[in-house]
Structure 1
């Protein structure tokens, strides 16, 4: 693949992962999702119409926003009331995303630095355009001659999302009430059998943020990115079954794979960020360098 064709493939990836920002997206027709006067998400019109059947939980759309009823004035009341509605919608089986119910609680807040206003089932967050956070770990090695290679995971074929695709060495969503470093250590242990005393050496290096829409809703996401240099003799092992195999690949081969359909899209973005930060992609050689950087850090 020529360098121009590779760059075009990467731009297409970034546009797809940021399509909520593009002309023609559903953003202009979405309702703001507000809790206690603060926006915490985006609700597509078809979802807003379903919520009007639950006036004891959701106020009717007004002024471009859907709000929780003022009587739901605590973290627990909001969480339990919304979850009851979601359980009803789940039974109706009209929303495909709820078929992937995970029994995982995600925090809902205007910004990551704000106190959570409620929790919500992970599978339902796209219905409300609630921002989701995760942790991704770039595992890599440096040979005695200075050659960098990266560990990639092949996702299990039974995963609910993106089965069988290439992924970062370890990654996971940030559950309600669980810290970032705790999540990192947990995912490294569970997915790749990396001991805690090794995982804890990972360095926080960036966040990668994007917002896309598809038939299941709106996905504003931000990933906390860590780099973990591993000893040359270390090999991650399949742990909890979410991964079927691990590969140690030269960085040039990893770069080539980013432009294929074999990579989980947001994980490809995390690897792209690694390539930029470690100067494997440089502005003098890559005409789209600035577009790449902007596409990795596009927040609402």
Structure 2
């Protein structure tokens, strides 16, 4: 088993090339994607792999420009909105089994945000289709820990092995996607109840807002479904210290069990690749914040800290 360094963990998740590291490599990589646009906004709001453009059942209401390599809604006479057109197209793709990733259909909407000077939600999109369009997506991740006589210990869940994405991998204590119209902290309260049986009053009184972790991920086979999908993500991160008698318990079918591990045990699992890639980044951010990972014990400290907060390519909420 190859042991991964902390920088390896960052490179594994934030794995879209940086322009500064090589213009040709960046340009070549991006040339395999088409830009996703919406009417009324000139800049792209997502990147779609060329093979996905070729397979998607667009129909005649979309405008595909092969020269500019852009996709956007066109004539909308027969549908009420761009959102409805996106929904109908994804439903058609799902029903005809065009994409594996759509087998995980959630009936849950993710927002697409517009120009930065308005910061408004333009349209929403089915969560399972968001990676196909390469839009920014948002989540919440909370690390719950206990101070013991042996030092800090962290509650670590194991994802259900039958989950479509990263089945059986270790995760952050609580994590989930932020739906359209949902505030991050309210999402955290919901996910805390669903995944760990934490009562709302506990989370409201104990959870601390700790910023964000952001990256651009290109999906591999562990995520389930198609590989090569463009995924820019922003995770709102939280810490929650709890007393020893607070024990998380699975409350849905997404978590198998929880372990209470020392920092060293968590770091070992990370190095062995047992933890879901983006969750490893959230834990690295936690270790930096708590003085566990420092410039004195990590030679790649500056690179790691900067890479945990990548500027996302599309308008953000």
| TM-score of the pair, normalised by structure 2 | 0.85
Give 2:200's aligned residue. Answer: 196
Give 1:167's aligned residue. Answer: 171
Deviation at 1:136, TM superposition (A): 0.4
Give 2:156's aligned residue. Answer: 152
Q: Which of 11, 29, 32 is equivalent to 1:29?
A: 32
Q: What runs of 5+ residues in structure 1 fail to find an aligned partner?
A: none
Residue pair 1:90, 1:99 contacting (<8 A) in 2 also: yes
Residue pair 1:127, 1:216 contacting (<8 A) in 2 also: no
Question: 1:119 aligned to 2:124?
Answer: yes
Greater alpha carbon shift after TM alignment, 85-94 vs 195-204: 85-94
Q: Which of 306, 309, 316 is equivalent to 1:294?
A: 306
Q: What runs of 5+ residues in structure 2 fail to find an aligned partner?
A: 19-24, 220-226
* CA distance 1:53–1:40, change in 2 (3 Å): closer
Question: 1:261 aligned to 2:278?
Answer: no
Deviation at 1:96, TM superposition (A): 1.5
* CA distance 1:231–1:191, change in 2 (3 Å): same
Q: RMSD of the alignment, in Å?
A: 2.4
Give 1:11's aligned residue. Answer: 7
Greater alpha carbon shift after TM alignment, 98-107 vs 47-56: 47-56
Count matched residues. Answer: 293
* CA distance 1:111–1:291, change in 2 (3 Å): farther
Deviation at 1:196, TM superposition (A): 0.4
Q: Which of 165, 177, 183 is equivalent to 2:181?
A: 177
Question: 1:77 aligned to 2:93?
Answer: no
Q: Distance in 1 between matches of 2:151 and 2:241?
A: 12
Residue pair 2:178, 2:187 contacting (<8 A) in 1 also: yes
Task: Summarize the alignment of residues 50-69 of structure 1 with structure 2, pairs less than 5 Å apart.
Answer: 50-51=55-56, 53-69=58-74
